[in-house]
Each structure stands twice: as structure tokens, then as C-alpha cells.
Structure 1
Amino acid sequence: MQKERLISLDVFRGFTILLMTIVNNPGSWSHIYPPLEHADWNGCTPTDLVFPFFIFIMGTAIPFAMPSKLLDYAVFNKILVRSLRIFCLGLFLNFFSRIEVLSLEGIPLLIARLIITFAVAYALLGNFTLKIKSYLVFLLLAILLFLAYSGIPAYEDVRIPGVLQRIGIVYFFSSLLYLKTNLKTQLVIASIILLVYWALMTLIPVPGFGPANLEKGTNLAAWIDNLVLNGHLWASSKTWDPEGILSTLPAIASGILGMYIGQILNKPIEKLEIVKKTAIAGIILLILGLIWGIVFPINKSLWSSSYVLYTAGIASLCLTLLYYIIDVADYKRWTKLFLVWGVNPMIVFFFSGIIPRALSAIKIENPNGTSEPINLQKFIYDFNIVPLFSDPLNASLFYAVGYAVFWSLILWGFYKYKLFFKV
């Protein structure tokens, strides 16, 4: 039996998903306010907090979702299937724009892609028995991986890693650690992971590049990505991936630190004592991250050990503040907007990525009179939003906020009619 939901955790998740939707959907990628952009390499902007926050929150939720620390075959299978369903959701996102259906083109092809997308979403988000879920997820995973490595031109360079893929992997290992180890062991494992990753990245020479380094494309993580996933990496880099193989290792530590805070929140002690413990933990993690950042820079793309501690510290303090306001002071009237986002995260994660891809696939006549058509997303932005603003930064932000409002209305309807989609 699951424990009662922690409203402050749902609100924190909702805020994180809402921010993710805004930063992922500007009107123009050429006009973005600096706080809504990722750091170019080293450093951390508010946008760089979104992904580690979500992993941290996922870890925090594990003790609430698994009140009984029993790991048998049925529980293991449930964790494995859920992890693979999350992984497949992310992998399918990378396939969406590559789907070819016979000789269809234009709108008919887009409609076919959307039909397939809804079928996949139903298979991965539908409420089936565990046995049927297992069959569906393994079948879908086999199909996607076969297409990726089949040599078919449309799929030969499709990306394998991704945000949801990393979340699925971290969930799998974090859940098993929670069920099989105690709190002290979990912290020891997290520490070992971060120290080993630091040593690997700063001590081992990189084949073909020379001494260990932490630069773009020439570090050990990049070399492993290119060796194992050559041709299936992030399109913007092609030779390395920000959600690559080696950098997923410290992401597991982010999940473990979230579990640590979750177990404090579950302690049968006074709520003010919980606030004190989580606040102290957050401050310590934040300071350790800043200190470690002197020699191992805070870096999202590398998911550096200092980045893990720094972001976990900020996440702990944010959750502590929300816990005090909502669960201790009982001030909840303002939370509904974030709750509607927080209780349906996966449906937003998936379809908020599908919609921009679909809009970009629809070509219409360019109002400028040029022979080259324009996609629907660009038409909406360039000819309906940009003219309203003198500053392109404000126009781009308005589009992103408008997209978030659009999703808020959808999620409000889901919440009202108690429609909750879970992986």
C-alpha cells in the first residue's frame, strides 16, 4: 500500500515540469533570456537545474511509492518494466520525426505518425496488467532498437540516449538500492560513485586525445559515447552526448541523494525536526558542491560530481521551503497550478515534445511570398507573435509561456476529471 502523497513534493515536481516546458519551447532559439539557456559548458543557470531536480524528485518519491522494502521477483519485474517504459517513451521521441509509412508524405504522413504515437503512448502509459506491460515494452524496445541498427537510412543516425532514457536507468538502479540497502549504505555508494567518476574523468588518458581533460568532445565520457554509440548521438554534437553512457553514472548519485531526503521526510518525527534535517543536508550538499567545483567544475553536460552535489543541495533547500510552507504551515491555497502539473509529469514530458515536432512537420505557404514553404510553428511565431513585441526576447518568452498556458488548461482538465497517466 502506497503512503499518502506529499503535496509539497507534487508541487515541486509540478514547478520543475512547468519550467522544463518553458525552457524547452522558446519562440526562437536565437532569442532567449540568459537564465532560460543552458550554460555553454562550465557553470549552472536556472535552466541547468531542471533535469537534476527531476531526477532528485524521482528519488525522493521512491520511499513514498515503496513503503515495504521487499524485493522479490514480482517487485523486480515491476521496477524493470517501469524503467523500460520510461526509456521507451524517450527513445520513441527520437524516432517520431523519422517515422516513414509506405509512400505517404505531408499531412497524411504526419497523421500516420500521430496515430502511431498515440498507440505507443497507450501501450506505455495504459493501465494494463504487469504481464501485458512486460510484453508490450519488450516488443516496442526490440522494434526501436532493430530500426536504429537495421541500416535503414531514415533511422541509421537516430539518437539512442535522452532525458527520459536517463531517468529510466536512474530509476531502475535507485529503486533496487533503496530496497536492498540501508540509508548509510546508499550514501556510501553515492560517495563512491562520485569519487570514481571524478577519478575516471581526471586521471585516465583519453585514447586519441592524450591526457585526461574536461573539454567538449575530447573527454573520456565523450570518447566512450562515440565508441559505443557512434552515429546515434546528440545531433548538435554528433561525437558525444549530454545524456551519454559514463555521465549517467553520477546521475544515479543524484537519484540516491533524492532518496536520502525522501527517507528523512518519511521519518516518524516532528515536522519541524524534518525541516531542520533537510535544510542542514541541503546546505552541506551545496557547500560541498561549490568546493568540489574548484577542481571538478560544475558542468551539466558532464554531470560532474560537483554538479550532483550542488544541484542536490539546491533541490533539498527548495523542497524544504515548500515542505515548511505547505505541510508545516498548511498554506496550500496557491498550489493548485503546480499540482495539476506535478501529478501528470510523464504525459507532459512526452506530448510536450511531440507537439512541436508535429507543428514543424506541417508546411504552409510563406506569407512573405517566397517559394520556400514555412512550417506551422514558425508561421505562428513569426507572423502572429513577433509583430506584437519590439524586443525579440520578449516575443520568444511570450511564445514559451503561451505554450505552458496551453498545457496548463489540458492538465487542469485531466486533474478535474481525475485522469492521471502513470508509467
Structure 2
Amino acid sequence: MTRERLISLDVFRGLTILLMTIVNNPGDWGHVYAPLLHSEWHGCTPTDLVFPFFIFIMGVAIPLAMPLKSWESTTFNKILVRSLRMFCLGIFFNYFSKIQLFGLDGIPLLIGRLLITIAIGYALMGNFSSKVKNILAFSILFIYLFLAYSGIEAYHDVRLPGVLQRIAIVYFVVSLLYLKTSKKTQIITGILLLLGYWAIMTLIPVPGIGAANLEKGTNLASWADSVLLKGHMYRETITWDPEGILSTLPSIVNGIIGLLIGQILQRETSKTQKAKKIVLAGVALIVAGLVWGIFFPINKSLWTSSYVLYTTGLAATCLAILYYIIDIADYKKGIKLFLIWGVNPMIVFFFSQIIPQALVMVKFQNPHNPAQQINLLNYLYTFGIAPFFSNPMTASLAGALVYVGIWTFILWLFYKNKLIFKV
């Protein structure tokens, strides 16, 4: 069986990564349209779909990237190293703003941080031999962990979990499931994870707090994070992490469902039949998620089992629609924008989060208030974008779209020159 590349899947990935860039980079965090913010707790906004969609897409891509289920030590090594490289890229986001170099400050420190960023990016996305990839990935991970637990003041509270870290874990588990188990086992594994997580979160009392609950800061997942990730969690929550330990378990099922959809796409049946099966599965998952949500609320931060079913159902339905339009009806007008975003997601993941942090480090006198300083990111938005809009929310969205426009040009250059960056 030859390796198949689905244009609709690339487009879906491009749509997802583009939306991620918009929601992560508003011009002004104080003025953001509600759909572009995460749900406060229970519930689901369009922004809450980005992360689970990306995991689902990754799951779909696994059987398409490995059409022949051949298990060798080299295959395991590739999966392990790719997972480690993603994991290490994700952790670096949390280290960038904490890096200290020989007492440097201001622009010299920024230059040093950017040089280290380029070195880390090259080490984790460069095309080396398997042996070199192994050495680099394990060495970088060791350095991260050493700094986090060394007692060095600058790194004592660096966050260890994150989006790419969770994606890396899910990729590792789901890839092994694909290579070593049957579809029946994959389905059973998914069901057990969802039911097990529901039971853990709703039946087991929380140590030091009392009865099982799903409230902020007092649920079992929060307790586990506070014990196992103490001092290394998301800085705005302190007592729990949105990409914490327990909530990673159900996220594996997003990847498993994607894997099952990917195997439907592999079948030697007509494309129309495949699309029908995927859309039916999507609708069934949406309904199941909404029904389960009555008892186990849809919640991204807790990554509840109902959230898994609901978001994978929406993802499967979206993919089925794109698959029909692009791969069956062969309608490809207007998709190039999303294609150029979809084939190079890792470079966007990595640098789109580094650039804003770098711009914040560049500070100078505020033209409107000489007694204060303003960083370059705020300056560009305040004086280059906001004055053109009377509605601050529209201005904030425009700031995000300008950033998307800059990245679109960069990705177009990569696409034109056939440059694809992978881990």
C-alpha cells in the first residue's frame, strides 16, 4: 500500500493552526470577542476546539503516514524520538522568558535568548541521523529537568506541561496502539480511558478537600497537579494546570478516535462510502458527548470525557465535509491559504509563541507618556493598528489578523521553496 496524502486533511490542519494563531495573539487581551476566548469553565467555545482538533488530526495522520504496520526497533525509535522532540519544543516556550546569561539585560539578553532559540529549533527540527536525534533530544530534556529542579532561582517555577507536551504524549501512545493492536483493542482502550477518567473524577474523594467534585482548584485532577507538578504549573492558575497529568489520559482518546477515522480512510472502498461513515460517526459522537455532558459537563480545562466525544465528533464531521468537497467533488478553489498553513504547522507552533515574547523584551520611552516605558509589541499595536478602529474588540482582532498575515507570507515563501519543517 502506498502512502497517501490527503489534501483535505492538510487543509483541515491549516484551518486549525490558523485559528490557533488568531486566538493566541489578539492585539489586546482586555478586548477579545467571546468566541475567541476559552470557556470560563464548563462549556465549549470555538477556541476550545483548536487543541482537540489538532490531536484528532494527528491521530488521523498516523495510519496515513504508516500504511504498512511494520514493527521494528527502528520504527519504535522514530516514534520515541519524534515524541521527545515535540515534548522538548513545547517546554522551551516556558523557558524562553526565564533564560539568564552572564548578568545580561535588555537587548543583549534578547539576542542571547534568540540565538539559543535558533539552536534549540535546529537541534529539534533539523534533519540528522537517528543517533544524533536521540542524543540531542535526550540531552535537551535532561537539561530542562536539571534546570527546573536544580534550585536555580530563575527556573524554580518554570512550567513543565503544555500543549506540545500533551500532543507528544498522545502521539507516542496512539502510534504504539496503531502498530501493536487491532482496531477492536483500540476502541476498547478508548472506552476504558473515558469511563475510567469519569469514575476517577466523580467517585474518588479529593485528599484534604473531601467529596469528588468538578470545581476549579478542588477537583482530583487539580490535586494531582498540585502534588506532582508543584511549582511547575501554569502561572495563572497556581494550583492546577490545564494540560496537567490526569487530564492527559482522556486526551489520548482524541488521538485514538482520529486513528480510527484514519483507518476508515485507508480502506479499499469508495470515497463516498468513507465520507458517509465518517460523518455518521461524527454525528453520533456529538450526540453522545452532549448527552454525557448532562452528567459529566463538557469542560476543556478538565478535558472531560463528554468534551472528548463532542470535540472529536465535530472534528470528524468537519473532516468529512472537507473530504467530500476537496477529495471527492475535486473542488480546490481557495484552499491554498490553508494548505500553506497545514503543511508547516510545527514551525508556526514553535516560533509564533516565541516572537511575541521577544517583542515584549524590547522597551523604550512611551511617546504618549514619557515617564513610562512601552514594549515593542504594545507599541506596534497601540500606534500602528488600534487608531484605525473605533471598536477596541475589532482593533484587537485586527491585530491578530495582521500577525496571521505576516505568518502567511512567511509560510508562502516556505511553501514556494518546498521547505517543510518536521520533528
TM-score normalised per structure 2: 0.99
Residue in structure 2 matched with residue 122 of structure 1 by the alignment: 122
What is the match of residue 157 of structure 2? 157
For residues 141 and 162 of structure 2, the distance between their equivalents in structure 1, rounded to whole angstroms, comes to 15
Q: Which residue of 2 aligns with 1:393?
A: 393
Do residues 214 (structure 1) and 210 (structure 2) align?
no
For the 8 Å contact 1:14–1:338, the answer to whether it is kept is: yes
Q: Could you say which residue in structure 2 is the equivalent of 1:59?
A: 59
CA distance in 1, matches of 2:393, 2:208: 41
Extract unaligned runs of 5+ from structure 2.
none
1:4 deviation in Å?
2.4
Q: Which residue of 1 aligns with 2:357?
A: 357
Q: Residue 306 in 1 paired to residue 306 in 2? A: yes
| Counterpart in the other structure of 2:413 | 413
Equivalent position of 1:276 in the other structure: 276
Please list the CA deviations of residues 358-416 of structure 1 after superposition, one character each: whole Å capped at 9, or x if unmatched.
01111111112342211111111112211111110010000001100100000000000
Deviations for 1:315-351, whole angstroms, at most 9, x for unmatched residues? 0000000000000000012111000000000000000
For residues 235 and 113 of structure 2, the distance between their equivalents in structure 1, rounded to whole angstroms, comes to 21
Confirm or deny: 8 A CA contact 2:93 2:354 kept in the other structure.
yes
**Matching residue's letter, 2:193:** I
In 2, Cα distance between the equivalents of 1:334 and 1:130? 38
Q: Residue 109 of structure 1 aligns with which residue?
A: 109
Aligned to 2:20: 20
Counterpart in the other structure of 1:265 = 265
1:407 and 1:182 mapped to 2: Cα distance? Answer: 40
- Between 66-75 and 99-108, report the one with greater CA deviation: 66-75
Tell me how far apart the structure 2 counterparts of residues 35 and 168 of structure 1 sit (CA, whole Å): 27
**2:136 is equivalent to residue 136 of structure 1:** yes
1:70 and 1:211 mapped to 2: Cα distance?
A: 47
2:84 maps to 84
Provide the secondary structure at the position in 2 that maps to 1:374. strand
Report Cα offsets for 1:87-116 as digits up to 9, x if no partner: 000001100000111021100100010000
Q: Where does 1:126-275 land on structure 2 (aligned, <5 Å)?
A: 126-275=126-275
Count matched residues: 423
Shift, 1:50, TM fit:
0.2
CA distance in 1, matches of 2:228, 2:272: 49
Q: Using the alignment, how far apart are the partners of 1:309 and 1:352 within structure 2?
A: 29
Q: Is the 8 A contact 1:225 1:244 kept in 2?
A: yes
Q: Distance in 2 between matches of 1:208 and 1:301?
A: 21
What is residue 43 of structure 2 aligned with on the other side?
A: 43
Q: Matched residues in 2 for 1:106 and 1:202: separation?
A: 49
Contact 1:43-1:298 within 8 A present in 2 as well: yes
Could you tell me how far 1:2 is from its partner in structure 2?
6.2
* Conserved? CA contact 1:2–1:65, under 8 Å: no
1:37-91 CA deviation, whole Å, 9 max, x = no partner? 1000000000000000000000000001111212221111110000000000000
Q: Summarize deviations over 1:221-278 as a string: whole Å, max 9, x none.
A: 0000000010000011011000000000000011000001111011110011001100
- The residue aligned with 1:333 is 333
Taking the aligned partners of 2:21 and 2:308, their CA distance within structure 1 comes to 22
Q: Could you tell me whether the CA contact under 8 Å between 2:4 and 2:65 is conserved in 1? A: no
The alignment yields a C-alpha RMSD, in angstroms, of: 0.8
Q: Structure 1 unaligned runs (5+)?
A: none
Q: Distance in 1 between matches of 2:122 and 2:161?
A: 22
